[in-house]
Amino acid sequence: MATVTRMLLSVSLLAVVAGCSSSSPTAGLSAASAPAAEAATPVVQAFCPPVVMREETAIYRSYARGGQDNPEKLAYQASLAEATRQCTANESTITINVVAQGRIVAGPAVSAGQVNLPVLVEVVDGDNVIYSQKVSFPVELPTAGTQFIFSKPDVQIPNAQGGASRFTRVRLGFDIPSKN
């Protein structure tokens, strides 16, 4: 847990540092450099849908051939935890950058190397799915566990009537085939 906290703190500090565009802390604060009030154009903020984890698919297990649901044949287990998003908008489209923290842990039947995790990104408004894409996300699997950062920067939904509402959510999980 301490490693996760340190990682999130590091990412937060990087975001703060990256947001600084001047080496002078007082640059742009003088009245002479302030833009004229009449030159300002109004900006309407778009709604940025929150990210929610699909609890039933937030954990993904992969087994060695013929070992489905056998703990001794578990190759690895991956999970998604904390997630966030950033939105940009124009008159017709909201583009969402979805970022999530994940962890992958080796099982008894592990084979170190690269694995592709089937991450499912959906945008839903109530019961209506307005965006859905499965992403084959590559992760290096060592013989022990490791953390990874999943990023999908190009989720686009309409920014108009029939698009995002206050009920719109980004759902994130693994694409797990049903056992039917």
The fraction of the chain above a pLDDT of 90, given in percent, is 46
Going by DSSP bridges, is the β-strand pair 128-141/74-89 parallel, antiparallel, or unpaired?
A: unpaired
82 lies in a domain? yes
Residue 129 scores a pLDDT above 80:
yes
Q: Given this model, what pLDDT does residue 18 score?
A: 41
26 lies in a domain? no
92 lies in a domain? yes
134 lies in a domain? yes
Quote the number of domains for the chain: 1
Average pLDDT over residues 158-172: 81
Average pLDDT over residues 136-157: 90
Residue 123 scores a pLDDT above 80:
yes
Residue 11 scores a pLDDT above 80:
no
For residue 8, what pLDDT band results from cuts at 50, 70 and 90? very low
60 lies in a domain? yes
9 lies in a domain? no
In angstroms, the CA 23 to CA 12 distance is 19
For residue 156, what pLDDT band results from cuts at 50, 70 and 90? very high
Residue 99 scores a pLDDT above 50:
yes
7 lies in a domain? no
pLDDT tens per residue, range 17-69:
344 433 434 344 344 444 444 443 344 556 799 999 988 899 999 998 888 88
In angstroms, the CA 146 to CA 11 distance is 17
pTM, two decimals, is 0.70
For 75, the domain range is 40-174
Average pLDDT over residues 142-152: 87
Residue 91 scores a pLDDT above 60:
yes
5 lies in a domain? no
